[in-house]
Amino acid sequence: MSSARIFDVGSIREDFPILCREVHGKPLVYFDTASSAQRPLQVIGAVDDFYRRHNANVHRGVHSLSQEATDLYEGARGKLARFINANSEREIVFTRGTTEAVNLVAQSFLRPRLQPGDEILVSHMEHHANIVPWQMLCEQTGAVLKVIPINNRGELEMEALPGLLSERVKLLGLVHISNALGTINPVAEVCRLAKSWDIPVLIDGAQAIPHGPVDVQALGCDFYCLSGHKMYGPTGIGALWAREATLEAMPPWQGGGEMILKVTFEQSTWNDVPAKFEAGTPHIAGAVGLGAAVDYLSSFDPVEMVSHEKQVLDYATGKLEEIDGLRIIGTAGNKAGVISFIIDDIHPHDLGTVIDHHGIALRTGHHCAMPVMQFFGVPATARVSFGLYNTRQEVDALIEALHSTRGMFA
């Protein structure tokens, strides 16, 4: 990629003004990107510029501002479509995020197809966003939720999968990269196996989309869900990708303005896709910011970006493993920039609070993946997660802080 920006962490960090601030008198070390990434100036500027110069409602006005806002909003859809190699921008439905995208598929695509006794398959490492909507659907329809097991390293038990596939399974939902374990799942292989039974596959891409190129066509899935705030964009905006024919065949799931062609008291007719799924005024500035985040991520050579994050991950893994009494939860062979761990009998919440006083932001808790915690027999973990702005020096600061915290609790 000859036009790609050189991957220089120093200059990348200058794009993120928040990284200059201090917390408790110490330079901020932000290791909570898996919860929500920080925003570069390019995204902050795009949102600011939208409100300063172009703000108006979309699709409805003949006046110039409305047309500008519409162009920016639809332009962002086109950027995202190209970013994930969709066939067209009509395959991108803007949602509030991954959670809403999964719920949309559950209620619009799957609900009308389910009979009592049908099965929905998810893995043991799902975020609650890819469990609870299906559980609710099971309650509504009499369908049954089945689980693909994981092993002690936090990898999918691929040998168990063929035995779980059958004509009863009406959808398989799988996380691309686990937010609790960092495991990168063999999504294309799972899709290939599911296809032999004509089972539609939904991929929760919330964690995968910021960590490297995603090609929805190459993966072979039917639905791909993502969140803007995990990929350096705004909160409250995300997307569902599905093929146009699939979206065409799905009924709308929320009614209101924008999603209709004609309304009478007797009957209403629906707009084309994707507008059919975007009832009401959308998060216009959010979409504009998401488009800017796509531009930002696209400015790097993905190979360099992935390799930088992998170097930080490997360095941090090695250093953490040297700490007495520290156990890493999730040791898959193929991992992205997430490390969950526990230390002796220090409760992760206590650890997180003390570490915060060193200026280091890490996440503690169940990470919205309680079944993962149950599998590993822990109530919670501490989790560090990396973005393109993190450095080895920041890892060193974490290791020092962990040593001093251990000393406090000894």
Residues at the site binding ligand PLP, with contacts judged by CB under 6 A: 97-99, 127, 129, 175, 179, 204, 206-207, 227, 238, 368
Q: Are strands 338-343 and 144-148 parallel, antiparallel or unpaired?
A: unpaired
Q: Which is nearer to ligand PLP, 236 or 252 (CB)?
A: 236
- Closer Cβ to ligand PLP, 260 or 368, answer by number: 368
Nearest distance in Å: CB 104, ligand PLP: 12
How far from chain centre, in Å, is Cα 308? 20
Q: What's the rounded Cα separation, in Å, for the pair 153 and 160?
A: 16
CA-CA distance, 221 to 167, in Å (whole number)? 18
Place of tokens 């360099």: 304
Listed in sequence order, the DSSP H helices in 84-127 are 98-104
Each as own residue / partner, the long-range contacts of residues 375-381 (CB below 8 Å, 24 or more positions apart, any chain) are: 375/124, 375/150, 376/154, 376/329, 378/329, 378/342, 380/347, 380/348, 380/349, 381/180, 381/329, 381/340, 381/341, 381/342, 381/348
Q: Is 260 helix (H, G, I), strand (E, B) or coil?
A: strand
Residue reference for tokens 């389910």: 114
Q: Cβ closer to ligand PLP: 154 or 359?
A: 154
Which residues share a beta bridge with 119? 144, 169
Return the number of the residue (183 or 391) whose C-beta is nearest ligand PLP. Answer: 183
- What residues act catalytically? 368
Strands 144-148 and 201-204: unpaired
Nearer to ligand PLP, 43 or 69 (CB): 43
Q: Give me the least distance between CB of 43 and ligand PLP, in Å please.
A: 16
CB of 399 to ligand PLP, least distance (A): 25
